[in-house]
Amino acid sequence: MDSRTGETGVSVTSGEECRAIFSQAIGENRTYLMEHECKEILESMGIATTGFLVAGSEDEAVEMSNKLGYPVVLKIVSPDVVHKTDSGGVKLNLADEDAVRAAYGEIVGAFKYQHIIGVAVQKMADPGVEAIIGVTRDPNFGPVLMFGLGGIFVEVLKDVTFRVLPVTLQDIDEMIQEIKGYPLLKGYRGKAVDIDALKNLLLKISELVLTFPEIRELDLNPVFLYPRGNMTVDARMFVSPVPETAPQQSSGNTVEQMRTLFYPGSIAVLGATSVEGKLGYNVFRNLLFHKFAGKLYPINPKSESVQGVKAYRSITEVPDPVDLAIVLVPASAAVTAVEECCRKGVKIIVVETAGFAETGADGKAAQERIREIIKAHGCRLLGPNCSGVINTHVGNVQSIGLVEEVEKGNIGMTAQAGVYAAGILTGLRHVMNFGIVATIGNKMDISETDILEYLGSDDHIDVVAMYMEDVKSGRRFIDVASKVTEKKPVIALKGGRTAAGTKVVSSHTASLAGNDEINSAAFRQSGIIRARDNEHLFGLLKAFARQPLPRGDGILVITYTGSLGVAATDTLYLNGMRLAELEPELKERLKGILPDYVTSLNPVDYSFSMDAEQLRKTIELGIVSEDVGGLIVVLQGEILGSFVDTLRSIDYKGKPILSCVAVKEFMMEDVIRMEKAGFPVYSTVEMAAEILADMYRYSLRKDRQAQA
């Protein structure tokens, strides 16, 4: 075999040989490569397999077996047989010539009505830990790698994990450690299997699939893993002609363009009006009310002025340049409006009007027309069918609903649905402050990935939230998210977790890859924290937005009631955290300030006697401990107000503190005081503990990346 290798590690000649195998199969209208063909491809990449010998007669099978040495395995080779064992197509552990002759006869007999190419003759591999390695293709993310424990129970145990290709060594490390069977691989004493060889195999499979897009799906099942090396015992590939793929859009200067969306120097509003109750009233009123820090041009053919501001009949009549145009005219007039905006030279158009692709054929056609126009002018478009963006830092509030006073904040958010974004902004403004909210609607042009990329670069934004229903930009989403999460946490809430989708399933890998598994893999891979539900999302957001990251996994829990101390402890340990152990000297000092009936030093349980002064002393003592990475305080709701000023006066030395107030819904005023002072409050101590763990995991990942 030639050893010249290309960038991917696939050698040049072997590349040509592989391509010949694919072309032949595709030429014969096959969708599937037989085991021996797969193994020839794998061997050419330096992957150890049980070989690809195929006998055409009983005598040839015997001759091959004699050469290989016994015991051997015989298997049916037929383009019609996918699962060979099911119909008696695999004969294992054949000890001598007689056994080979008998097995040969049985196989040929069993498949006499199928198209038989021959009978494969392989060495019987030594038993090892059975693994499965697979690749399937996701409509959004493209090829996805799967690894897990294999064998006949693979579909029952479902102990598998996924990553979107291409993968890094770090991804592969995480995959291996993530499966439940990892202890089996690691062994109890020393190494049970050769993990380096396994990593190497996974990398090679990833290279193979990226080099040959003809491979639609692939299953290596089983691969036997040994203390040294591994052996691919069975392989299957599903192939198809290479489909033409649309290039993933990314127009170089997206970040600069998005900056104009959020910080425009001037905004024209097409359809602005003084008539209350209309969307054109609300949007223009929002911009005025929030004192947009730039020029405003209402466009209305029938009015001299709108809400006291001089109006123009058409955007083309505005004497000065316009950065951004908001289009509120009906869908039927939107195409012309967009055309005029482009002629005027606006950089960003926000189409808030509904009635496009989401409504039917006419709407779809209009949306297509708009797409062509903006493409021709190099202009970018948000929407249609959205609620614009909000940037509280410059009073750029484009929402279709009236938005009352909001504070400037450090949370950035993208959402598909406008109502969702506007609603949470109004409802949550007491407990968390948003800097930027972007609604993307039909995302005809600007996608969640464009917004995410931008939010990563905005200095006002410390935490990014994404509410998403589908991910369009697949691989680019992962690349962008991976970069952003190196700088700031990204938290996603993804709808559609249960819809597994009905797809024709051919490989084990495809049957194990529900849509949601792939989404989870993509999030994990790019360091995105996945929120379980809305409550978890908001809980995470306020913690990340207002508290520093824990620098250790030891937590000090201070509580007024023992049971919540126990609950906190359980949740911490379940999430990979632990109770901090104070240094002996600190323990002595702590004992000195506690009433004698308080015996446990972590959780510190005050049994309904904690006052603000005691809390302050306990926190200040705990903060000093090297082993304390963060704190959880459980506060009594009835006297919550008495703690706020004290908590505010403490120097936390960069350590996070989360609090729990059971049934906080009944003391909202004091809870809001706490939140406004920067102390996130949770109804359950489990939520506080879980979120501290989420924060710690994120900080570990960030450290790791900083070192890499």
Q: Pick out residues in 528-547 that bind ligand ADP (CB under 6 A).
A: none
Check binding of 39 to ligand ADP (CB under 6 A).
Answer: no
> Which partner from the list Mg ion, ligand ADP, none does 11 bind, CB cut-off 5 to 8 Å by kind?
none
Q: Pick out residues in 206-225 that bind ligand ADP (CB under 6 A).
A: 222
Give the shortest CB-133-to-ligand ADP separation in angstroms: 13
**Among residues 125 and 324, whose Cβ is nearest to ligand ADP?**
125
**Among residues 84 and 673, whose Cβ is nearest to ligand ADP?**
84
Which residue, 3, 38, 9, 49, is CA-closest to 211? Answer: 9
> Which partner from the list ligand ADP, Mg ion, none does 85 bind, CB cut-off 5 to 8 Å by kind?
ligand ADP
Which residue, 59, 94, 56, is CA-closest to 74? Answer: 94
**Among residues 86 and 651, whose Cβ is nearest to ligand ADP?**
86
- 120 and 130 Cβ atoms separated by less than 8 Å: no
Give the shortest CB-101-to-ligand ADP separation in angstroms: 18
**C-alpha to C-alpha distance for 509 and 514, rounded to whole angstroms:** 10
Check binding of 513 to ligand ADP (CB under 6 A).
Answer: no
Q: Pick out residues in 84-143 that bind ligand ADP (CB under 6 A).
A: 84-85, 90, 92, 122, 124-125
**C-alpha to C-alpha distance for 688 and 663, rounded to whole angstroms:** 14
Burial (CB < 10 A; 0-12, 13-18, 19+), residue 531, is: buried
- 353 and 384 Cβ atoms separated by less than 8 Å: yes
Give the shortest CB-92-to-Mg ion separation in angstroms: 12
Chosen residue from 11, 14, 206, 221 binding Mg ion by CB under 5 A: 221
From residue 476, alpha-carbon distances to 164, 251, 447 in Å are 11, 12, 11
Check binding of 50 to ligand ADP (CB under 6 A).
Answer: yes
From residue 487, alpha-carbon distances to 182, 464, 490 in Å are 30, 11, 9
Chain centre to alpha carbon of residue 499: 17
Helix (H) or strand (E) holding 231: strand 230-232
- 425 and 403 Cβ atoms separated by less than 8 Å: yes
Looking up tokens 């195929």 gives: 54
Give the shortest CB-450-to-ligand ADP separation in angstroms: 44
Residues in contact with ligand ADP, counted by CB under 6 A, come to a total of 14
> Which partner from the list ligand ADP, Mg ion, none does 288 bind, CB cut-off 5 to 8 Å by kind?
none
Looking up tokens 């779809």 gives: 364
Residue 519 one-letter amino acid:
N
Check binding of 233 to ligand ADP (CB under 6 A).
Answer: yes
Give the shortest CB-564-to-ligand ADP separation in angstroms: 51
**Among residues 89 and 264, whose Cβ is nearest to ligand ADP?**
89
Which residue, 168, 350, 209, is CA-closest to 267? Answer: 350
Instruction: Copy the structure tokens of residue 149.
Output: 């424990």
> Which partner from the list ligand ADP, Mg ion, none does 73 bind, CB cut-off 5 to 8 Å by kind?
ligand ADP
Burial (CB < 10 A; 0-12, 13-18, 19+), residue 75, is: buried
Q: Segment near Mg ion (CB under 5 A), from 33-41, 106-114, 215-223, 354-362?
A: 215-223
Q: Pick out residues in 607-666 that bind ligand ADP (CB under 6 A).
A: none
Give the shortest CB-662-to-ligand ADP separation in angstroms: 53
- 560 and 636 Cβ atoms separated by less than 8 Å: yes
Helix (H) or strand (E) holding 435: strand 434-439
**Among residues 10 and 233, whose Cβ is nearest to ligand ADP?**
233
Check binding of 68 to ligand ADP (CB under 6 A).
Answer: no
Check binding of 73 to ligand ADP (CB under 6 A).
Answer: yes
**Among residues 234 and 458, whose Cβ is nearest to Mg ion?**
234
601 SS3 class? strand
Give the shortest CB-68-to-ligand ADP separation in angstroms: 10
**Among residues 124 and 662, whose Cβ is nearest to ligand ADP?**
124
Q: Pick out residues in 395-454 that bind ligand ADP (CB under 6 A).
A: none
**Among residues 222 and 383, whose Cβ is nearest to ligand ADP?**
222
Which residues, in sequence order, are bridge partners of residue 491?
A: 465, 529
Q: DSSP assignment, residue 5?
A: B
**Among residues 92 and 102, whose Cβ is nearest to ligand ADP?**
92
Q: Segment near ligand ADP (CB under 6 A), from 78-86, 133-141, 311-319, 643-651?
A: 78-86
- In the bound state, the residue with its beta carbon closest to Mg ion is 234
Q: Segment near Mg ion (CB under 5 A), from 232-240, 268-276, 422-430, 686-694?
A: 232-240
From residue 688, alpha-carbon distances to 407, 583, 625, 675, 702 in Å are 25, 25, 21, 14, 21
Which residue, 10, 14, 508, is CA-closest to 220? Answer: 508
**C-alpha to C-alpha distance for 55 and 59, rounded to whole angstroms:** 8
Chosen residue from 37, 207, 214, 234 binding ligand ADP by CB under 6 A: 234
Helix (H) or strand (E) holding 146: strand 142-149
Check binding of 83 to ligand ADP (CB under 6 A).
Answer: yes
| Site residues (vs Mg ion, CB under 5 A) | 221, 234
| Site residues (vs ligand ADP, CB under 6 A) | 50, 73, 75, 83-85, 90, 92, 122, 124-125, 222, 233-234
